[in-house]
Amino acid sequence: MEMQLERKVVLVTGGSKGIGAAIVRAFCQEGACVANVNRPGPEGEALAAEAERAGQSYSFIQGDLTEWETSQRAVETVLDTWGRLDVLVNNAGVNDGVGLDQGPEAMWQSLQRNLVHYYALAHYGLAELKRQRGAIVNIGSKVAVTGQGGTSGYAAAKGGVNALTREWAVDLAAAGVRVNAVIPAETWTPLYDKWLQTMEDPAAARSEIEQLIPLGQRFTTAEEIANMVVFLASSRSAHTTGQIIYVDGGYTHLDRKCTVS
């Protein structure tokens, strides 16, 4: 299916690794002009080289999204480079393990890492997104509905992502701007692999998790998350807004009895 995204301008946060990099690649393959906002690092530069070899339009905007100036500069850079902004993908964040024992300052820092820049980018991009009747896709987490333990900051932030998705969908409907969220659960990324390698038996730990995923007893791939993001950003989902869509093989909501062998 043609996604009709050629020459559309897309701003992706945290697009250097894992799910974010898969999102960047998916939009580039659709012919979009893609800006990746991320901290400096070799992964972002490698994506630039990859895009150049493929003749794709990609820009790496380096900065720390916990600093609000980065969000404003990112939007301004996109407008200076391509003259428009059609799609905002809020993806950057980290499950930082800030729990009840760490105190209000740590909690606030976690919200800065995982939620506040979602608002900042939507704020600074608002006028242009309205002008283009564009789309916002927020990346959330199943932790917002299941809990996890020991990660109050991340859970609160991802709950906030779901709430802002619905709030912005209402707020921006009259302007023709669609807002949706994509929720991963157990998604295979290099970071997940790195965490599993800390286990005594990484292969057994992976297998144990996979058995809890109803559809196929396997991890979701980053590319499967990216494909849903691209669809929700495209005109193929022109009448879809305010939706919180779980791309998780049924992990979050289906009865665990279906995973018992």
**Using CA atoms, how far apart are residues 223 and 79, in angstroms rounded to an integer?**
28
pLDDT tens digits, 26-47:
999 999 999 999 999 999 999 9
Residues 6+ apart with CB under 8 A from 10: 27, 32, 33, 34, 35, 86, 87, 88, 89, 233
pLDDT band at 148 (very low <50, low <70, confident <90, very high): very high
Q: Which contiguous run of DSSP H or E holds residue 90?
A: strand 87-90
Active-site choice (154, 192, 246, 251): 154
Judge whether 124 counts as a catalytic residue: no
Confidence at residue 261, expressed as pLDDT on a 0 to 100 scale: 64
Cβ atoms of 110 and 154 within 8 Å: the answer is: yes
Picking from 58, 8, 7, the residue whose alpha carbon sits closest to that of residue 37 is 58
Look at the alpha carbons of 41, 45, 46, 48 in this order and tell me if their dihedral is positive or negative: positive
Lowest-pLDDT range, 63-72, 119-128, 134-143, 251-260?
251-260
162-173 pLDDT per residue, tens: 999 999 999 999
Q: Is the pLDDT of residue 104 over 70?
A: yes
| Ordered structural domains, the chain, with CATH | 9-189+221-249 (3.40.50.720)
Structure tokens at 7: 């020459």
Residue 218's pLDDT is: 95
Round to whole Å and give the CA distance between 125 and 79: 10
Q: Is 173 helix (H, G, I), strand (E, B) or coil?
A: helix
Q: Which pLDDT does position 258 carry in this prediction?
A: 83
Between strands 244-247 and 87-90, the pairing is unpaired
**Which pair of tokens denotes residue 231?**
């669809």
What per-residue confidence (pLDDT) applies to 255? 87
Torsion over CA of 180, 160, 226 and 71, rounded to 10 degrees? 100
Q: Which residues of 86-112 are buried (b: 16+ CB within 10 A; e: fewer)?
A: bbbbbbbbebbebbeebeeebbeebbb
